[in-house]
Amino acid sequence: MADITAAMVKDLREKSGAGMMDCKKALNETAGDMDAAMDWLRTKGLAAAAKKSSRTAAEGLVGVAVAGTKGAAVEVNSETDFVAKNAQFQDFVREVTQVALAEGDSVDAIKAASMASGTTVAEVLTNNIATIGENQSIRRARRLEVTKGAVVPYVHNAAVPGLGKIGVLVALESEAPDEALQALGKQIAMHIAAAFPLALNEADLDAATIERERAIATEKASESGKPADIVAKMVDGAIAKYRKEHALVSQLFVIDGKTKISDVVAKAGKDAGAEIKLVDYVRFQLGEGIEKEQSDFAAEVAAASGVPQKPDTQPEA
């Protein structure tokens, strides 16, 4: 039997995009012949992952999970919504969410961590790409933790428990009873899913976003023809309104449309007999910010066949 070195396995993995264990097995099956090992992987459908990795993945699932006073949310993308219904993919997202509970926000750390099988997340991901037949990626992760209190999860329109297209975590610091924190957290999480706040507090809003809004408000106010001092006040008013509408604690509760979230939290604390602090939140919506590629099937077929596509022409009148 040929001596299969780690360097050989690494080289084959880089060339094929297949998982580490698959590459090792391929080399063992082919007595260390690199070309034959590549062919072996191709016959098993395991060398296709590298090519698939260039395709846009904007579908998939968001997963949320909690353990004690910690909670984690992850987004794992695929190319089509069909994969989100695949049990293998769902199990992977569910387990990656559990890994994020231990590893935190770093996608690299999550991918390097071992799953229950002993195989790394990255290797399982590569194998899934090959076996399911679509590009997949772990896009982002976030972990929240409180010293006392609760991190409450919520998935809007969950496909299966803990998995869906919008996942929310709400971190509440308090010595209030857990049932009170869970009820409050669920209500706030539902609000977050619907209202899409951009930050917890007004001071946390992105400075570049505020400046962009200020420029827009200035242009609109200037068109009014009012004096400069009035225009300045109009702009300040518009920015103040924007801050209130996009910071979570100052948003109006979607359930009643009139109570600020900060007041909802304060009342819940009073009712529970202990102060409750809303300290952080996470809202992951599947595919937000990803620009999906627009595919022209006719052009793809023409390109594959080597026949140039005729430009669209309109008949003359």
CA atoms within 13 A on the CB side of 241: 9
Residue-level pLDDT at 22: 83
CA angle 311, 313, 316 (to 5 degrees): 160
CB 152 within 8 A of CB 66: yes
| CA-closest candidate to residue 278, choices 292, 264, 296 | 264
Residue-level pLDDT at 298: 47
Distances (CA, A) of 244 to 89, 169, 187, 202, 237: 39, 21, 19, 7, 11
In the block, tokens 């395991």 appear at 46
CA–CA separation, 161 and 157 (whole Å)? 10
CB 111 within 8 A of CB 74: no
Q: Is residue 278 within a helix (H) or strand (E), and if so which, with residue range?
A: strand 276-285
Q: DSSP secondary-structure letter at 248?
A: G
Residue-level pLDDT at 292: 57
CA–CA separation, 163 and 62 (whole Å)? 6
Sorted by sequence, the CB contacts under 8 Å of residue 113 that are 6+ apart come out as 99, 102, 103, 120, 121
- Which one-letter amino acid corresponds to residue 171? A
| CA-closest candidate to residue 202, choices 257, 238, 246 | 246
Residue 222 tokens, joined: 């200037």
What spatial distance separates the first Cα and last Cα of the chain, rounded to whole Å? Answer: 76
Distances (CA, A) of 164 to 65, 105, 136, 246: 12, 19, 16, 24
Task: List the chain pLDDT tens, one digit each, 317 residues.
Answer: 578 888 888 888 777 767 778 888 889 999 998 888 887 876 666 655 444 444 445 689 999 999 999 999 999 998 888 888 989 999 999 999 999 999 999 999 999 999 989 999 999 999 888 888 788 899 999 999 999 999 999 999 898 999 999 999 999 999 999 999 999 999 999 999 999 999 999 999 999 999 989 998 898 888 888 898 998 999 999 999 999 999 999 999 999 999 999 999 999 999 999 999 999 999 999 988 765 554 444 444 444 444 444 444 444 43
Q: What is the CA 17 to chain-centroid distance, rounded?
A: 23
Backbone φ and ψ of 38, nearest 5°: -65, -45
CB 69 within 8 A of CB 185: no
CA–CA separation, 248 and 237 (whole Å)? 19
Same fold, 6-47 and 59-204+247-285: no
Residue-level pLDDT at 58: 67
Residue-level pLDDT at 316: 42
Q: Which CATH number is 59-204+247-285's, of 3.30.70.260, 3.30.479.20, 3.30.479.10, 3.40.50.1220?
A: 3.30.479.20
pTM: 0.74
Q: What is the CA 56 to chain-centroid distance, rounded?
A: 14
CA gyration radius for the chain? 26
The residue ranges of every structural domain in the chain are 6-47, 59-204+247-285, 207-244
CB 56 within 8 A of CB 293: yes
CA–CA separation, 297 and 183 (whole Å)? 49
Q: What CATH code is assigned to 6-47?
A: 1.10.8.10
In the block, tokens 């509760």 appear at 253
Sorted by sequence, the CB contacts under 8 Å of residue 118 that are 6+ apart come out as none
Residue 181 tokens, joined: 């924190």
